[in-house]
C-alpha cells in the first residue's frame, strides 16, 4: 500500500496484516493545518487497484496557563482579576507546558496558510447561594494578545443582588471561575457552549468529557484561586434592663423570669439573614471605676460564664434567645451575642464574616426582707396573744431591743454587704433610728439597739410624740433609690443600684414595766387591836419614766395565816388607779376572827395585804403584770390595862403632851430650816461643778447641758418637777421658788439665758459666751455663800424675825395714852432755872 502525506510531501509503502489492516506512522509534523493523507493500491493479478484519501487536521492542544489571581477573599468594592497565557502545546500535547503563544480573537489574524492565529477564551463565573445552588454567568470573552489574557471586575454586591441573571443572587458567596477556550482549528478547545446549559445543574459542560480538556478548560476553585465575596454582618441587639422576676397579677406570687436577648441579623446591604444560628453567653459582674484608665470597667463575678439556649433567626432575621437567670446575682450582665459564619449549620464561611456583639445589661432583682425576730433586750423574744387569737411581738418602753432579719433577692439568693435603714414609727418619725449592714454570703444581720457599734445613740424604744405604750411599727427598709437624712448614704455605697427597694413593717406591742410604791405604809411594830382601821395606799409608776399609771387595775389580796401554816386569801379588793396613779384600801382589823367564815381562824391574828397590778383591759395590755409580795405583816398587838394609874395621871399626861408639842414645833422649824439650807448647798455644789468644768474645758455646750441635767435630776428627786418634758422657762419657775431672795430675778434670767443659748441657738459658741457664763456662775455662788453663813438660812429682811428688839432704857415705860415715860421724871414740872 502506497501512501503520501501532503503536509511534508512524504510518502511510503506499508503492508497489510492478515486482517487487511495497515498502519501509517506520521512523525515530525511541524505544520498545523488541514492536510490530506492519500492511499494507493496498485492491484495484483487477482485484484484491481484503488485510491483513497482522508483529510486530517494537524492541531495543537491549546494550553491556558494562569499566571496570577487576586486573593480569594474579597469584600464589597474590591477588584478581583486574573491573568493567563494561552499557548499551543509545544508539540508535547500531554505535558502542560507552554509553546507558541496565540494571538488575537477568532477570525482576526491568520497565518499565510489562512489559519487563525488565536481564539476566544470565555470567562464564566459560577456562584453558589446559601442553599448550595449554582448560578453561572458569562462575564467576559477574552482574546489573547501575544498570548496574554486577563480579566478583572469590581465586585458590587448590590448590583449582583439586583441582577436577575446574577451569578451571586444573594450578593455574597463563593465563586468558581471557569476559563474555557473555544475550539478554533488548528487550536484545539471546547465546543461553543449553549447559553441554556448554564442554568443546568449537574453535567452542564460537554467539554469536561474531552480527554485532557483541563489543558484548555481551567476551573479556578473559590477555595484556591477563585474568590469568595465576603459580606459584613450586623448584629442589632436590643438594649434592655433585665429583671430576674415578676409578680403574678392574679396570685401576687413572685415568678422567676429569664433574660430574653432580642435583635436582628442583617448583612451590610440590609438584607435579612434567615435561619442562622445565634449563640449567646453571659457573665455576671459589676461596673467599677478604673482610676488608671479613668473610665468604668466591667469586673466579672465568681459564677463564670453561662450559656443560653441556642436559637436561630426567623425569616426576617430576627432572633430571641432565652437565657435562664436562675440563681444569678443582680448586677451587670456582660452579654456576648455571636454569629459564627463557620458554623456548619450556617454554611456562611465563604459568604459572610463572623460577628460578635458585646452588650452590658443591668440586671435588676426584686429584693425581699425577712424579719425573723423582733424582741426586747439582746436575745429575748416575747409575744402577746389577744382574746381574738391575734399575736404580736412585744417590746418594752425605754428598753433596748434587737432585730434579726435577712435581705435576699426574689430568687432566694442572699444579698450581702447592703445597708438597710431601721425605723420606729416611720409614719411619725421619718428619720431612721439606725442603720445595719447585711453579712456577705448570708444576707443576714443582727442589730441590737444598746450596742454602740450598731446604734451610736444606744436609744431603745423611745416615746413617740405623746404616745407611750401601744402599737408601734418597726420598719426595716432597703431603699437605694432615695436619700434619707440620718440613714444609709446610698449615693456613696451604691451609685448604681441593681436591687429594687423592699420594705417590711412589723407591728409590735410596746408595753411598760411598772414599779409599785407604798405611798401610805400600814406597818405597825406594836401591832393592831381588834377594831382598828388598817389603811394603805400604793402608787403605780412606769419603771423607766417615773410617770404615774392612771386608770389601770390594782388588786389588794387580803390574806391570813391559817391553822395549817399557810397564807389563805380572805378577800380580793379590786380598784382602779386615779390620776395620780394611786389606789388605797382600808378595813377594820378583826384579829383572829375571819368575817363571814366562822369555820376559819387566824391564830395570832397574823394578816397581810398583797398588791397585784395588771392592765384593766385585756384588749389594751399596755402594762406588764406585777406582784408586790414584800408587804408588811399585820399582827395582833398586846392589850392595854384599864386599871393603870399612879404616875400617869391626867394632869401629867396633859403637861407631857404640851411639852412634846412644843418640842415637835421647835424641831419642825429647825428641820425646815435645815432642809432649806441643804437645798441651797446642793444647788451651790451643782453650780460649782459646772463652773469648774467651764474653767477646765473648752466644751461649753457639754458643761452647760451637764449642769442642766443635774439640776433637773435634783428637782425631780425633790418632787419639784412632775412632768418629763418641760422647757427651760417652765424650769425657771421652779428654781425661782428655791432661790428667791438669794439671787436677784434679773440674775436668774441671765442664768437661764445661758441654757437657752446652748440649747436653741445656731450661732457659734465661743470664748466670749464662756466667760459670761463663768461670771454669772461666780456671782450666783457668791450670793449663796453669803446667804448660808455658818448658821440658819436667811432669805430676806422682810421675812426675817428680829433676833433682838429695839433698845430700852432703864425705867422706860408706856403710859395709858401711849406716850413713852421714864420713872422719876415729871413732865408737868416747870423748869424755873433753880439749881442746888
Question: What local confidence, expressed as pLDDT, does residue 814 receive?
Answer: 55
Mean pLDDT of 471-475: 95
User: What share of the chain in percent tops pLDDT 90?
Assistant: 51
The domain covering 235-364 belongs, at the CATH homologous superfamily level, to Macroglobulin (MG2) domain (2.60.40.1930)
834: which 3 cell numbers?
A: 433753880
Question: What local confidence, expressed as pLDDT, does residue 420 receive?
Answer: 95
8 Å CB contact between 706 and 759: no
297: which 3 cell numbers?
A: 470597667
383 CB-near residues (< 8 Å, 6+ apart): 391, 392, 393, 394
Residue 647 pLDDT grade (very low, low, confident, very high; cuts 50, 70, 90): low
More confident residue, 457 or 743: 457
Question: What local confidence, expressed as pLDDT, does residue 434 receive?
Answer: 94
Q: Is the pLDDT of residue 609 over 70?
A: yes
Q: Is the pLDDT of residue 444 over 90?
A: yes
More confident residue, 703 or 562: 562
Question: What local confidence, expressed as pLDDT, does residue 534 receive?
Answer: 93
Question: What local confidence, expressed as pLDDT, does residue 740 receive?
Answer: 67
Q: Is the pLDDT of residue 806 over 60?
A: no
Same fold, 235-364 and 672-788: no
**Does the predicted TM-score (pTM) go above 0.85?**
no
- Across 343-347, 496-500, 673-677, 679-683, the highest mean pLDDT is recorded for 343-347
What's the CA gap between 418 and 625, in Å, rounded?
Answer: 40
pLDDT digits (tens, 9 = 90+) for 107-138: 888 888 888 889 999 999 999 998 889 999 99
Spacing of C-alpha 28 from chain mean position: 98
More confident residue, 658 or 626: 626
8 Å CB contact between 742 and 783: yes
pLDDT digits (tens, 9 = 90+) for 382-400: 999 999 999 999 999 999 9
Residue 650 pLDDT grade (very low, low, confident, very high; cuts 50, 70, 90): low
Mean pLDDT of 72-92: 91
Question: What local confidence, expressed as pLDDT, does residue 567 receive?
Answer: 94
Q: Is the pLDDT of residue 812 over 60?
A: no
Bridge partners, residue 11, by sequence: 4
Burial 428-463 (b: 16+ CB within 10 A, else e): eeeebbbbbbbbeeebbbbbbbeeeebbeeeebbee
Q: Is the pLDDT of residue 831 over 80?
A: no
Residue 645 pLDDT grade (very low, low, confident, very high; cuts 50, 70, 90): very low
Question: What local confidence, expressed as pLDDT, does residue 747 receive?
Answer: 77
Question: What local confidence, expressed as pLDDT, does residue 813 receive?
Answer: 54
Question: What local confidence, expressed as pLDDT, does residue 829 receive?
Answer: 47
More confident residue, 196 or 438: 438
Question: What local confidence, expressed as pLDDT, does residue 673 receive?
Answer: 75
Residue 790 pLDDT grade (very low, low, confident, very high; cuts 50, 70, 90): very low
What's the CA gap between 722 and 626, in Å, rounded?
Answer: 24
What's the CA gap between 378 and 384, in Å, rounded?
Answer: 19
pLDDT digits (tens, 9 = 90+) for 558-606: 999 999 999 999 999 999 999 999 999 999 999 999 999 989 999 989 9
Instruction: Report the CATH architecture of 367-511.
Output: Sandwich (2.60)
Question: What local confidence, expressed as pLDDT, does residue 834 receive?
Answer: 42
Q: Find, among 77, 201, 73, 64, the residue nearest to 132 by Cα.
A: 201
Question: What local confidence, expressed as pLDDT, does residue 680 receive?
Answer: 80
CATH (residue range 514-634): 2.60.40.10
Task: Give domain limits for the chain.
Answer: 2-48, 60-229, 235-364, 367-511, 514-634, 672-788
CATH (residue range 672-788): 1.20.120
Q: What is the DSSP string of 363-378?
A: EEB-EEEEEEEEEETT
Residue 795 pLDDT grade (very low, low, confident, very high; cuts 50, 70, 90): very low
What is the chain's mean pLDDT, rounded?
85
- Interior angle at CA 612, CA 608 and CA 618, nearest 5: 155
Listed range (217-226, 568-577, 601-610, 741-750) with the worst mean pLDDT:
741-750
Q: Is the pLDDT of residue 832 over 50?
A: no
Question: What local confidence, expressed as pLDDT, does residue 794 receive?
Answer: 40
More confident residue, 554 or 658: 554
Q: Is the pLDDT of residue 799 over 60?
A: no
What's the CA gap between 558 and 587, in Å, rounded?
Answer: 10
473: which 3 cell numbers?
A: 411599727
Question: What local confidence, expressed as pLDDT, does residue 311 receive?
Answer: 95
Question: What local confidence, expressed as pLDDT, does residue 135 receive?
Answer: 95
Question: What local confidence, expressed as pLDDT, does residue 793 receive?
Answer: 40
What is the spatial order of strands in the sheet that 33-43 belongs to?
10-13, 2-5, 33-43, 48-58
DSSP 3-state of 819: coil
More confident residue, 674 or 401: 401
Question: What local confidence, expressed as pLDDT, does residue 801 receive?
Answer: 38
Question: What local confidence, expressed as pLDDT, does residue 662 receive?
Answer: 83
**Per residue, what are the HEC states of 551-592?**
CCEEEEEEEEECCCCCEEEEEEEEEECCCCCEEEEEEECCCC
Question: What local confidence, expressed as pLDDT, does residue 698 receive?
Answer: 66
Report helix angle 700-717 to 728-739, nearest 10.
60
Listed range (499-508, 530-539, 677-686) with the worst mean pLDDT:
677-686
Amino acid at each position: 500500500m502506497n501512501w503520501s502525506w501532503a503536509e511534508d510531501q512524504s510518502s511510503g509503502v506499508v503492508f497489510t496484516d492478515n486482517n487487511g489492516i495497515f498502519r501509517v506512522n506520521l512523525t515530525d509534523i511541524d505544520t498545523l493545518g488541514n492536510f490530506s493523507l492519500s492511499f494507493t493500491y496498485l492491484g495484483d493479478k487477482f485484484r484491481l487497484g484503488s485510491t483513497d484519501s482522508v483529510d486530517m487536521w494537524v492541531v495543537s492542544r491549546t494550553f491556558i496557563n494562569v499566571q496570577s489571581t487576586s486573593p480569594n477573599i474579597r469584600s464589597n468594592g474590591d477588584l478581583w482579576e486574573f491573568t493567563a497565557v494561552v499557548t499551543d502545546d509545544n508539540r508535547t500535547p500531554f505535558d502542560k507546558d507552554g509553546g507558541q503563544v496565540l494571538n488575537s480573537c477568532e477570525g482576526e489574524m491568520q497565518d499565510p496558510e489562512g489559519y487563525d492565529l488565536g481564539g476566544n477564551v470565555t470567562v464564566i463565573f459560577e456562584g453558589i447561594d446559601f442553599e448550595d445552588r449554582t448560578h453561572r454567568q458569562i462575564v467576559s470573552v477574552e482574546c489573547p494578545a501575544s498570548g496574554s489574557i486577563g480579566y478583572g471586575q469590581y465586585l458590587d454586591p448590590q448590583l449582583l443582588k439586583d441582577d436577575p441573571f446574577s451569578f451571586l443572587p444573594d450578593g455574597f458567596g463563593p465563586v468558581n471561575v471557569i476559563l474555557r477556550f473555544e475550539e478554533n482549528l488548528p487550536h484545539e478547545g471546547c465546543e461553543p457552549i449553549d447559553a441554556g446549559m448554564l442554568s443546568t445543574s449537574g453535567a452542564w459542560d460537554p467539554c469536561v468529557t474531552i480527554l485532557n480538556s483541563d489543558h484548555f478548560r481551567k476551573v479556578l476553585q473559590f477555595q484556591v484561586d477563585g474568590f469568595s465575596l465576603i459580606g459584613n454582618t450586623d448584629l442589632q441587639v436590643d438594649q434592655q434592663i433585665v429583671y430576674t422576676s415578676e409578680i403574678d397579677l392574679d396570685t401576687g406570687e413572685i415568678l422567676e423570669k429569664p433574660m430574653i436577648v432580642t435583635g436582628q441579623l442583617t448583612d451590610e446591604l440590609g438584607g435579612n439573614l434567615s435561619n442562622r444560628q445565634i449563640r449567646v453567653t453571659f457573665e455576671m459582674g459589676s461596673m467599677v471605676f478604673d482610676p488608671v484608665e479613668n473610665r468604668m470597667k466591667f469586673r466579672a463575678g465568681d459564677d463564670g460564664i453561662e450559656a443560653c439556649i441556642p436559637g436561630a433567626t426567623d425569616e426576617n432575621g430576627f432572633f430571641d434567645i432565652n437565657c435562664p437567670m436562675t440563681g444569678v446575682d443582680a448586677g451587670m450582665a456582660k452579654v456576648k451575642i455571636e454569629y459564627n459564619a463557620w458554623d456548619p449549620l450556617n454554611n456562611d464561611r465563604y459568604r459572610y464574616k463572623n460577628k460578635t456583639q458585646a452588650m452590658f445589661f443591668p440586671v435588676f432583682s426584686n429584693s425581699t426582707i425577712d424579719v425573723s425576730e423582733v424582741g426586747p433586750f439582746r436575745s429575748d423574744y416575747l409575744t402577746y396573744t389577744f382574746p381574738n387569737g391575734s399575736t404580736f411581738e412585744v417590746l418594752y418602753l425605754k428598753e433596748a431591743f434587737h432585730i434579726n432579719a435577712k435581705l435576699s433577692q426574689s430568687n432566694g439568693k442572699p444579698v450581702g454587704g447592703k445597708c438597710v435603714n431601721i425605723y420606729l414609727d416611720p409614719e411619725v418619725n421619718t428619720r431612721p433610728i439606725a442603720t445595719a449592714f447585711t453579712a456577705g454570703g448570708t444576707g443576714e444581720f443582727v442589730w441590737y439597739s444598746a450596742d454602740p457599734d450598731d446604734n451610736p445613740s444606744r436609744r431603745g424604744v423611745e416615746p413617740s410624740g405623746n404616745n407611750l405604750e401601744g402599737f408601734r411599727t418597726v420598719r426595716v427598709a432597703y431603699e437605694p433609690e432615695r436619700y434619707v437624712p440620718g440613714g444609709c448614704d446610698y449615693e456613696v455605697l451604691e451609685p448604681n443600684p441593681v436591687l429594687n427597694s423592699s420594705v417590711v413593717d412589723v407591728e409590735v406591742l410596746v408595753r411598760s414595766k411598772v414599779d409599785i410604791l407604798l405611798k401610805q405604809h400600814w406597818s405597825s411594830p406594836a401591832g393592831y387591836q381588834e377594831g382598828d382601821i388598817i389603811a394603805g395606799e400604793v402608787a403605780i409608776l412606769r419603771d423607766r419614766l417615773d410617770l404615774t399609771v392612771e386608770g389601770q387595775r390594782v388588786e389588794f389580796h387580803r390574806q391570813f395565816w391559817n391553822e395549817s401554816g399557810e397564807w389563805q386569801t380572805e378577800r380580793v379588793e379590786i380598784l382602779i388607779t386615779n390620776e395620780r396613779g394611786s389606789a388605797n384600801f382600808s378595813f377594820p382589823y378583826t384579829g383572829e376572827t375571819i368575817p363571814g367564815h366562822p369555820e376559819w381562824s387566824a391564830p395570832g391574828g397574823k394578816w397581810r395585804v398583797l398588791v397585784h397590778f395588771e392592765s384593766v383591759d385585756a384588749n389594751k395590755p399596755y402594762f406588764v403584770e406585777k406582784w408586790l409580795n414584800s408587804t408588811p405583816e399585820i399582827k395582833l398587838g398586846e392589850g392595854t390595862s384599864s386599871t393603870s394609874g399612879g404616875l400617869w395621871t391626867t394632869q401629867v399626861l396633859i403637861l407631857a403632851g404640851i411639852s412634846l408639842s412644843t418640842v415637835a414645833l421647835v424641831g419642825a422649824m429647825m428641820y425646815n430650816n435645815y432642809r432649806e439650807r441643804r437645798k441651797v448647798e446642793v444647788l451651790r455644789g451643782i453650780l460649782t461643778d459646772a463652773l469648774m468644768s467651764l474653767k477646765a474645758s473648752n466644751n461649753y455646750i457639754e458643761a452647760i447641758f451637764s449642769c442642766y441635767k443635774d439640776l433637773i435630776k435634783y428637782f425631780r428627786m425633790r418632787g419639784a418637777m412632775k412632768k418629763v418634758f418641760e422647757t427651760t422657762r417652765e424650769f425657771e419657775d421652779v428654781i425661782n421658788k428655791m432661790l428667791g431672795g438669794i439671787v436677784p430675778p434679773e440674775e436668774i434670767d441671765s442664768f437661764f439665758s445661758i441654757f437657752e443659748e446652748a440649747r436653741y441657738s445656731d450661732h457659734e459658741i465661743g470664748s466670749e459666751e464662756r466667760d459670761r457664763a463663768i461670771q454669772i456662775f461666780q456671782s450666783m455662788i457668791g450670793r449663796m455663800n453669803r446667804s448660808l453663813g455658818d448658821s440658819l438660812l436667811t432669805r430676806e429682811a422682810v421675812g426675817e424675825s428680829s433676833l433682838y428688839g429695839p433698845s430700852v432704857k432703864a425705867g422706860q415705860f408706856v403710859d395709858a395714852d401711849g406716850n413713852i415715860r421714864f420713872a422719876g421724871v415729871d413732865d408737868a414740872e416747870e423748869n424755873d432755872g433753880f439749881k442746888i
